[in-house]
Structure 1
Amino acid sequence: MYIQSIIVADDDSDDRLFLEDVLHEVAPSKSVTSVKDGQELLSLFNHFVPDFLFLDLEMPRKNGLECLKEIRNNPTTKELPIVVFSSTNREYNIDVAYEMGAHLFLSKPNSYDDLKLAMQTILSFDWSNPAAITKQYCVNGTYLPFTVNKTEE
């Protein structure tokens, strides 16, 4: 699957811009659209379905889990590759996000370089079979967040 269009759904404008900047740097040929809450995201799907979605969990009007439920119940969006992009690292949130249909869970990195490495890695995965990616992050029945293994210099 070739990714041409990406949506970033995050209510935190700094986090949204941070991710947009990194995506424009690591994937300049891809179209990136941003929305600030879950309701805006779901409304956008009425006339545009992207190839890929980065979804924050904590958003107003409709949170990420509510969005996941609606996306997975909609025939038009049910196969959409989704990476939950959240500042939480709580095991419960990670498990629930995967169980509700996220293909990957990324804890928001603190540095630009870490986020850049994460985006390069995530976008290099073979998203033609998102379930295979998810399966790699389930170990002994426990879901794990995606992390970048950056070598210290």
Structure 2
Amino acid sequence: MIVTKRHSLRIAAVGALAAATVALAGTAAMADTAAPAPSAPVAQTVAAKAAITAKPSVNSVKAWQLFRVTGTTTGLKAGAKVTLQQKQGSKWVTLPASSPITHSGSYSLGVKLGIKGKNQLRIVSGSTASPVFNVTVR
């Protein structure tokens, strides 16, 4: 059998790859068996439950008079939008008033209401909602 130089290089390369594979497999097996199980419970960080507060700048306004709703959030990302909702009958209707959450977790949005009487309002972001607050439009 004649062995050429090219053939011998192939055999050497395959041998080197096989040796490296065996070495890596042995190292992985040693790492699995060498790590002891922790004896004390590991503390896990618990994400803060999402919450929104809301406070209107006034309790009573004239129809279409501008007022502000301000508040803070916890557990929500900065840049996420908070939106105003109004209770109309038995449904919550989203109004065209929204604002991004700042990096400190606060927000402020301008609101104009036209439905006269006591308006039930809340601020929402995703599935998180603030407690209901009232503003009377006269």
Q: Which TM-score band applies after superposition, normalised by the shorter structure?
A: under 0.3
**Of Structure 1 and Structure 2, which has the larger fraction of its residues in helix?**
1
- Larger relative contact order, structure 1 or 2 (CA cutoff 8 Å, min sep 6): 2
TM-score by length of 2: 0.20
Structure whose CA Rg is larger: 2
**Of Structure 1 and Structure 2, which has the larger fraction of its residues in strand?**
2
TM-score by length of 1: 0.19
